Amino acid sequence: MTVSTVGARAPRLTLRRRRQLAGALFALPAVALVVGLIAVPIGQAIYYSFTQWNGLTSTWIGPSTWTQAFHNPNLWTALENNAWLLLAVPFALGLPLLIAMLLHQRVIGWKIFRSIYFLPTAISWVVLGLVAERFFAFQGTLNSLLHFFGLSHVNTNMLGYESTALSALGITFVFTMIGTNTMLFLTGLATLDTSLEEAARIDGAGRWRIFRHITLPHLSRFIQLAFVMTVIALFSALFSLIFVMTGGGPGYATTTMEFLIYQTGFAQGDFGTAALYGLILFVLTAIVGIVQLRLIGSDE
Amino acid sequence: MSLDTPPVAPEAPTDRRARARRVGRGALFLVMVGVAVVMLYPFWVMIVDSLKSENQFLSGHGFSWASWRTLTSTIPIAQEVVSSTIICAVSILLILLVGLPAGFAFAKLKFRASGVIFLAIVSAMMVPLQAILMPEFVNITRLGLTGGYTGAVLVYAALGTPFSVFLFATYFRGVPDELIEAGIVDGLGYTGALWRLVVPIAIPAIATVTVLQFIQIWDDLLVGLLFIQNTSERPITVGLAVLAAGRTTSIPALMAGSLVSALPAMIVYLIFQRYLVKGLTMGIDR
């Protein structure tokens, strides 16, 4: 790359242009990867959502594929399951907030406790799903606990019944999110100016008031981020748990949108409808994503 | 407590408060132990259940090494760990090779429309794989990349790139322009400035991306399940999930395999905990 310098001002201009060229070239591989493997497939999904498609040949059907899809009860069951699972979100945020507050008191050994609390975060949700299955199983820990507390006549089998399987999945989801969210909140608490709390305490403010008026507002950005991450995980990261724990059943009791896409595409071979379901999931997460972008954007 | 001992009286409340404080501390400690028990439960289940033979597991009595001794014949665990390691290493390398220059470009070498392109790449972070699963699967299959690791590695790299570009760009914004100018004046060129000046300062950011992606890819099921067709090239998480879903493999063997699969991610996690926290709160914590 040799640049001939003609006049006194020429090199400056070329330097600027060279920098831009270098920038574009440096960004190119990342752009290519994201365009080729994320952007193009979104476009394809839109096209294929209007076709009958088995992965090899596709026939154009038109918008009627969409009206047909919305008449499919399985889609509504999956959306309904996703909606019910949203009830787990307050717990997936509240419990970690409580745990972070406890850790923040810095009792003896809090650093060890912190490491222990975060440890499950490293484990695959496949493994956590396997363990959860043992917990909820007929001869599992839950029944042992119930018997221990004198409820020997109670025998649960939460994963075995349509009425309770989704709750079991939700409980497992809350457990899997505790580490990450606690980590977020603890980081937030660490940036809190303790002199503020101290001043409020001297002024006679009770614990609840300090929490409500000082701690909580300070944590709001962290809570927003945790909320967005939790909801996105709920929509797109349950696959491992469902695959291992229930396979979407009993019936369609634990089939969420993401699992319905997998089932429709790979169990039924209906690629077109699966692509269409994918777009619905895409819209759902995009709504949450816009919230997150606002959070990041408001920083600059 | 009589009234004619005034000097003691003022001390009594503080004494009581100190004791109340100590009791409070003790109660807090117990609560924390309780939470620790819950969080350690998965490990307890894996360890205890893996130390049983299938019969011992079914009857609920006794312990043995049987499941560990026969582990390699029940689950092709060594090959699966090798597969996982290769997939993780190549994917992360690709993410770094693509993400570092791009992050540098978006932060320091702005070009036409670079702001918009950056925003578009960051938005791609929000696209769940399931949303584009069908076209992605057909594309990769048509290209004939599901035979080895290539397809899975490409998908992991594409999914990991947006976050790494975002993180590196944010990090590089803090690097002074003068440093790069000086490098250019010294004749390093932009490539030289990137690899010799910028990358060495970016080690913490590189560590963050590496740790986050390692845990993400090591623990993932969906990509490995669909984009690696040969069972002899399956990563460990996929192997475990398929055996578990098949419901024919004994639970103790599955638990032993789970423990083996959990160990590397746990070790990485415990050593590099702080980089993980840094990555998670990137963008709001400053």
With CB atoms and an 8 Å threshold, state whether A31 touches B121.
yes
Say what the pLDDT of residue A4 is.
Answer: 46
Q: Compute the nearest-CA separation of B264 from chain A (Å).
A: 9
Q: Which residues of B touch A95 (CB under 8 A)?
A: none
Looking at the domain assignment, is residue A258 inside a domain?
A: yes
A183: nearest CB among B109, B137, B277? B277
Looking at the domain assignment, is residue A89 inside a domain?
A: yes
Q: Where are the beta strands (DSSP E) in A132-227?
A: none
Which of A47, A66, A85 is at the close of a domain?
A66
pLDDT band at A201 (very low <50, low <70, confident <90, very high): confident
Say whether both A39 and A187 belong to one domain: no
Say whether both A143 and A219 belong to one domain: yes
Mean pLDDT score, B273-280: 74
Looking at the domain assignment, is residue A199 inside a domain?
A: yes
Structurally, chain A folds into a number of domains equal to 2
Mean pLDDT score, B121-145: 90
**Domain span including residue A226:** 74-297
Mean pLDDT score, A36-56: 90
With CB atoms and an 8 Å threshold, state whether A24 touches B132.
no
Looking at the domain assignment, is residue A4 inside a domain?
A: no
Q: Which residues of A touch B155 (CB under 8 A)?
A: 37
Say what the pLDDT of residue A170 is.
Answer: 95
B261: nearest CB among A127, A188, A244? A127
Measured between alpha carbons, how far is residue B284 from residues A13, A296, B90, B218 in Å?
Answer: 37, 7, 30, 27
Say whether both A203 and A279 belong to one domain: yes
Q: Which residues of A touch B60 (CB under 8 A)?
A: 139
Sketch out chain B's domains with CATH numbers.
11-68 (no CATH), 76-280 (1.10.3720.10)
Contacts of B284 (CB under 8 A, 6+ apart): A221, A222, A225, A295, A296, A299
Say whether both A234 and A288 belong to one domain: yes
Q: Are B134 and A278 in contact (CB under 8 A)?
A: yes
- Residue percentage of chain B with pLDDT more than 90: 42
DSSP state of B113: T
With CB atoms and an 8 Å threshold, state whether B126 touches A232.
yes
Any idea what the CATH number is for the domain that residue A90 is in? 1.10.3720.10
Say whether both A144 and A273 belong to one domain: yes
Say what the pLDDT of residue B139 is.
Answer: 92
Say whether both A99 and A219 belong to one domain: yes
Say whether both A39 and A148 belong to one domain: no
Say whether both A23 and A94 belong to one domain: no
Looking at the domain assignment, is residue A40 inside a domain?
A: yes
User: Residues B214-250: pLDDT tens digits?
Assistant: 999 999 999 999 999 888 899 999 999 998 888 777 8
Say whether both A50 and A178 belong to one domain: no
Say whether both A80 and A223 belong to one domain: yes
**Phi and psi (nearest 5°) for A93?**
-105, -40
Say whether both A32 and A114 belong to one domain: no
User: Residues A120-152: pLDDT tens digits?
Assistant: 988 999 999 999 988 988 778 888 888 888 777
B161: nearest CB among A30, A55, A225? A30
**A84-98, B85-99, B190-204, B266-280 — which is least confidently predicted?**
B266-280
Say whether both A89 and A54 belong to one domain: no
User: Residues A96-127: pLDDT tens digits?
Assistant: 999 999 998 888 888 899 989 989 988 999 99
Looking at the domain assignment, is residue A164 inside a domain?
A: yes
Q: Are A125 and A258 in contact (CB under 8 A)?
A: no
